[in-house]
Amino acid sequence: MVIKTNKIVEERTRTSARLNFHNDLYEASFKALGTNCSVKYKSTSSKESNNFFSFILNWIVDFESRYSRYLDSSLIGLINSNAGISPVELNKDDERLFTICDEMHFFTRGIFDPTALPLIKLWNWNSKSPVIPNKTSIDLAKKNVNWKNVVRKPGSIFLPDKGMEIDLGGIGKEYAIDQLVQMAVTQHGIKDLMIDFGQDVFALGSPSGKPAWHIGLDDAYSPGSCWAGVAINNHSVASSGDYIRSFVLEGIRYSHIIDIRSGYPVCNGSRSVTVISPSCAMAGILSTTAFILGVEKGLDLIESYYRAEGCVTTDKYRAKQVNLMNMLYHKKIIRVILFCLILSFSSLGFSQIKVNTKFPDLNTFKLESNESYDLKGKILLIDFWASWCLPCKDAFPILNEIQKEYSKKDVIILGINVDRDKKSMSRFLKKNNCDFLVLHDASKDLVSKIDIKSLPTSFIVSPNGIIESVHVGFNKKTTKKDYISSLNKLISQKSRKNGK
């Protein structure tokens, strides 16, 4: 569906836009997506810089025009206005974004729910005269909140009940950052940049003369000042909290973040959560969901994602820079808070492992398995997966079919699980049929070596260890066909070599 550019969005964004040059960096600034936006980057010439600046503005205007829930003419506005009436057409970009919503809803066990807008509207925290809604109103609004009820078919989406509404807050801005980073690299050759959309940050490469980008973490006790900083590259930092956006009524502080399970604002003592992750969308989802869950369960959730670290500030506890820190609450908090003070990320932006290169020798890694195995001379389909990854789950039946069909052709499927907690893997395997060998990368040495950015990611490897093909993601229509094509090629090569 074609969505026209919103003139108000375009005028506001372009009127506020500025491009400056300082310390070998171009800095683009503008207002979009309800916040102040900044993009710092290195470019080889002013012409290329201006082209990239124009591209950013054009893309962000189109993105907000399409996905803002405040615009009746946007895709989200049309989906909401057609609730209970008719499906709305989607393009491939829309479907990709809603697929990520599926994954995040599954990963957070339903805490993240894009259909939460009825509750958000009910708790109008931005009102000059806020009113606490009654329980009846809350219960009625909760009936219209359930992402699982949304009807999605190829090329369309439908909200089946009148009163259901979608809001991409919590993922839209973060998704936009991830997309801009990818396009900066692939379409404009930008290797060093930092995007900051209102406390959601992605840093790629590094500024001139420094090994990493340095980002200050806002102090929940003293907004506008920093309590710590991180040095990162090729990672994202996202923070969620209620220390700025909330209202106080009769001595009680009400957060702008709603827990859809209760229908009420979060009230668990948390003030802010900060997460570092390779994906801004994941960092944003983790920080908001951890804030809702509270300290213990929130930190457990962050820990369950194999490449994320996080910290929590509560009403009573915070880090103090005395002998690095002094946290008087829980050892787990001490561990995750420490990353904010002394950790610097420096992994590559893209996978180091490519087609026609040698796959790492699995025997050199500590991979846990309940079964013995011999991979010598075998063709391998190596699939990296996690228990929280919905596409990973969808891939299991296909992998089972291939294992059954090709087991007599010297093909072995290896499922490399990347859950931090082996119990999560075990619970998943009890509920889902698995006919292939599963290994647990407990130390994360293998997944770090390959530097995987998304799940599932799979590799088809020849008997001599050379990568035949790499597959990122899972598509029910094409992935099996792609697997079989690569496997048959290797089987044919092996047969000719053996003279069969």
**Global pTM value:** 0.75
Compute the half-sphere exposure of residue 310: CA atoms within 13 Å on the CB side of its CA: 35
Give per-residue pLDDT as tens, 343-357. Answer: 333 333 334 568 899
Query: DSSP strand E in 115-241: where?
Result: 151-153, 156-158, 193-197, 200-204, 213-219, 222-232, 235-241
Q: 3-state DSSP call for residue 407?
A: helix
What pLDDT digit, counting tens, does each position of 301-348 carry?
887 776 788 888 887 764 332 222 333 333 344 334 444 333 333 333
CATH number of the domain at 70-158, please? 1.10.3980.10
Domain-wise residue ranges, the chain: 70-158, 201-342, 362-494
Fold of 362-494: Glutaredoxin (3.40.30)
Nearest to 174 by CA among 33, 365, 382, 300: 33
Within 10 Å of residue 34's Cβ, how many Cβ atoms? Answer: 14
**Tell me: the pLDDT tens digits for 182-228?**
999 999 999 999 999 998 999 999 998 888 999 988 888 888 888 77
CA dist., res. 59 & res. 62, Å (int)? 5
Q: Which DSSP letter does residue 368 get?
A: B
Domain 201-342: homologous superfamily in CATH = ApbE-like domains (3.10.520.10)
How far apart (Å, rounded) are the C-alpha atoms in residues 316 and 298? 17
pLDDT, tens digit (0-9, with 9 covering 90-100), for 434-482: 999 999 987 778 887 887 767 889 999 999 999 999 998 888 888 999 9
| Mean pLDDT, the chain, whole residue set | 87
